[in-house]
Amino acid sequence: MELTLKNITKTFDGFVALENITFTVKEGEFVCIVGPSGCGKTTLLRIIAGLEEPTKGEILLDGEPLSHHERDIGFVFQEYGLFPWRNVLRNVEFGLEIRGIPKEERTRIAKKYIEMVGLSKFERNYPHELSGGMKQRVGIARALAVNPKLLLMDEPFGALDAQMRNILQEELANLWMKEKKTVLYVTHNVDEAIFLGDRILLMTASPGRIKEDITLELPRPRDRASPEATALRKRILETLREEIIKSL
């Protein structure tokens, strides 16, 4: 699904969090948003998900206003947001339940996605029995289970250790190549953005604006250590550094 943001501005009691954000994400594209802490990345995703109203501007999904589409968006939260009172299966079933899908079918669908993220053995476990990496796999399965046309991910692997993060990045890249979802992925980890994205939107320090729109022409599966990736990483890091210093 194509996502278009037109002049999105968001203020909280006079504090400008986002200023004039305009960009388009094409159908099937994996776009990463990279920016310094506090520049409004989460706020931007929340606005796109319909959890927050923009102060100004307009959001279009396939050319139509957001309100017609709320249910076609999946959101993966940094803090996982799993329901502790539901086991893995029932967590993944949640969105299907809201959509009124009958019990048997939603169990079947949920199991399929749990298998996809490699957690079939843990269907009956409760979130507190899972590691961080497993929890986020459940979070991803839950978001994908309703087959959303747009997937929003807010630093989904931010709380994980480096090894686990790399593994999940690879899994996510594979999943995406299979499912071909439109993905908007927020991170402040430049390596992650280069590994996953078709495009990287660099944001300025608060108030957040789009500073650069970089298209990555790197072949997939990505090689983290390729000279192109290294050069790109250096360039992005320098830009980010400037932004962070400016904000101090």
Partner 1 sequence: MKSSYYFWTDISPKWRERKFRVVSLVIFIVLWYVLSLWIRELPTPVETATTFYQLITVGEPILGRTLQEHTLASIKIVLKGFIIGTVIAIPLGIIIGRYKLAENLLNFIVETFRPIPPLAWIPLGFVLFRGLKETGWFQIISHLLGLGTSVAAMVQVFVVFVGAFFPILLNTIQGVKAVNPIYIDVARTFGATEREIVWKIVIPASFPNIITGIRVGLGVGWMCVVAAEMIGGSSSGVGLFIWDMYSIGGGSAEIVCGMIAIGLVGYIMNEVLLFVQRRVFKWS
Ligand X SMILES: Nc1ncnc2c1ncn2[C@@H]1O[C@H](COP(=O)(O)OP(=O)(O)OP(=O)(O)O)[C@@H](O)[C@H]1O
Site residues (vs partner 1, CB under 8 A):
46, 49-51, 70-71, 73-75, 77, 79, 81, 83-86, 94-95, 97-99, 126-128, 146
Closest CA to 93 of 107, 80, 83: 107
Shortest spacing between CB 75 and partner 1, in angstroms: 4
Task: Report the 10 Å Cβ neighbour count for 62.
Answer: 14
> Is the distance from CB of 44 to CB of 21 less than 8 angstroms?
yes
Residue 189 as a binder of Mg ion (CB under 5 A): the answer is no
Give dist(CA 65, CA 88) in Å, integer.
34
Q: Shortest approach of partner 1 to residue 11 CB, angstroms?
A: 20
Residue among 37 and 226 whose Cβ is closer to ligand X = 37
Residue 42 CB, nearest distance to Mg ion (Å)? Answer: 3
Which residue number places its CB atom closest to ligand X?
42
Which residues contact ligand X by CB under 6 A?
Answer: 12, 17, 35, 37-43, 188, 206
Task: Give the residue with the Cβ less far from ligand X, 56 or 180.
Answer: 56
DSSP code, position 187: E
Work out the number of other CB atoms within 10 angstroms of the CB of residue 112: 14
| Closest to 229 in 3D by CA, of 240, 238, 219 | 219
From the list ligand X, Mg ion, partner 1, none, pick the one residue 79 interacts with, judged by a Cβ distance below 5 to 8 Å according to partner type: partner 1
Measured from the CB of residue 41, what is the shortest distance to Mg ion in angstroms? 5
Least Å distance, CB 54 to ligand X, is 13
The answer to whether 123 and 86 are in contact (CB under 8 A) is no
Select 43 or 87, whichever has its Cβ closest to ligand X. 43
Of 196, 172, 154, nearest in space to 35 by CA? 154
What is the CB neighbour count within 10 angstroms for residue 94? 17
Per-residue contact string for residues 15-54; x = within reach of Mg ion by CB under 5 A? ---------------------------x------------
CA–CA separation, 113 and 11 (whole Å)? 38
Residues that bind Mg ion (CB under 5 A): 42
